[in-house]
Homo-oligomer: A and B are copies of this chain.
Amino acid sequence: MATFEKGNAVIGQSGGPTLVINQSLVGIVKKLKKYLEIGKILGAVHGVKGILDDEFVDMKQLDDDLLEKIAKTPSSALGSVRLKPKKDDVLKMFDVMKKNDVKYFFYIGGNDTAETAFIINEISNETGYPLKAFHVPKTIDNDLLVNDHTPGFGSAAKFIAQAFIGDNLDNRSLPGIKVNIVMGRHAGFLTAASLMARKYKDDGPHLIYVPETTFTVEKFVNDVKEVYQRLGRCIIAVSEGVSDEEGRPIIEKEVFFSTPETVIDKDGSLLQKQREVDSHGNIQLSGSGALGDFLAMIIKEKVGASRVRADTFGYLQRSFLGCLSEVDSREARLVGEKIVDYAAEGKEGGSVAIIRKDSPKYEIDTIFTPLHTIAKKTKSLDSRYIINGNDIDASYLKYVSPLVGEIPEIAIIEDDRI
The digit string for A175-207, where 1 denotes a CB below 8 A from any CB of B, is 000100000000000000000000000000000
A407 in complex: contacting residue of B13, B166, B301, B322, CB < 8 Å: B322
Take A174-B16, A258-B260, A287-B310 as given contacts and tell me if A69 and B411 are in contact as well, using a CB distance cutoff of 8 Å: yes
Q: Report the minimum CB–CB distance from A154 to chain B (whole Å).
A: 15
Q: Report the minimum CB–CB distance from A358 to chain B (whole Å).
A: 32
Complex interface: stretch among A98-106, A291-299, A341-349, A360-368? A291-299
A258 in complex: contacting residue of B62, B73, B258, B296, CB < 8 Å: B258
Contact A170 B75 (CB under 8 A): yes
Q: Report the minimum CB–CB distance from A255 to chain B (whole Å).
A: 9
The digit string for A386-414, where 1 denotes a CB below 8 A from any CB of B, is 00000000000000000000011111110
Take A16-B174, A66-B411, A321-B407 as given contacts and tell me if A166 and B258 are in contact as well, using a CB distance cutoff of 8 Å: no
Contact B288 A293 (CB under 8 A): yes
Q: What is the CA–CA distance of A105 and B51 in the complex, to the nearest angstrom?
A: 68
Q: Report the minimum CB–CB distance from A299 to chain B (whole Å).
A: 10
Q: What is the CA–CA distance of A259 and B257 in the complex, to the nearest angstrom?
A: 11
Contact A273 B260 (CB under 8 A): no
User: Does A320 lie at the interface of the complex (its beta carbon under 8 Å from any beta carbon of B)?
Assistant: yes
Copies of this chain present in the complex amount to 2
User: Does A76 lie at the interface of the complex (its beta carbon under 8 Å from any beta carbon of B)?
Assistant: yes
Chain B residues, CB < 8 A from A377: none
Contact B263 A418 (CB under 8 A): no
User: Does A165 lie at the interface of the complex (its beta carbon under 8 Å from any beta carbon of B)?
Assistant: yes
A interface: dominant SS: loop
List residues of A (1-59) whose CB comes within 8 Å of B's CBs: 13, 16-17, 19, 43, 45-46, 50, 55, 57
User: Which range contains the number of A residues in contact with the other chain?
Assistant: 35 or more
Contact A76 B413 (CB under 8 A): no
Q: Please give me the residue from chain B that is nearest to A159 by CB atom.
A: B320
Contact B293 A310 (CB under 8 A): no
Interface-centre pick from A70, A82, A173, A265 (highest chain B CB count, 10 A): A173
Take A66-B411, A79-B418 as given contacts and tell me if A321 and B165 are in contact as well, using a CB distance cutoff of 8 Å: yes
Chain B residues, CB < 8 A from A69: 409-411
Q: What is the CA–CA distance of A17 and B168 in the complex, to the nearest angstrom?
A: 12
User: Does A231 lie at the interface of the complex (its beta carbon under 8 Å from any beta carbon of B)?
Assistant: no
User: Does A327 lie at the interface of the complex (its beta carbon under 8 Å from any beta carbon of B)?
Assistant: no
Q: What is the CA–CA distance of A410 and B266 in the complex, to the nearest angstrom?
A: 45
Take A163-B320, A170-B315 as given contacts and tell me if A288 and B287 are in contact as well, using a CB distance cutoff of 8 Å: no
A417 in complex: contacting residue of B55, B70, B257, B418, CB < 8 Å: B55
15 A-B contacts, Cβ less than 8 Å apart? A17-B174, A73-B412, A75-B166, A75-B169, A75-B170, A78-B413, A162-B322, A167-B315, A167-B316, A260-B297, A263-B297, A264-B264, A309-B315, A312-B312, A313-B316
Identify 9 new A-B residue pairs, CB closer than 8 A, beyond the known A79-B173, A312-B312: A17-B174, A70-B411, A78-B413, A78-B418, A163-B316, A163-B321, A286-B309, A289-B289, A316-B316
3 closest Cβ pairs, A-B complex: A289-B289, A287-B309, A166-B319
Q: Which residues of A contact B (CB under 8 A)?
A: 13, 16-17, 19, 43, 45-46, 50, 55, 57, 62, 66, 69-70, 72-82, 161-163, 165-167, 169-170, 172-174, 178, 257-261, 263-266, 271, 273, 276, 286-290, 292-294, 296-297, 300-301, 306-316, 318-323, 407-413, 415, 417-418
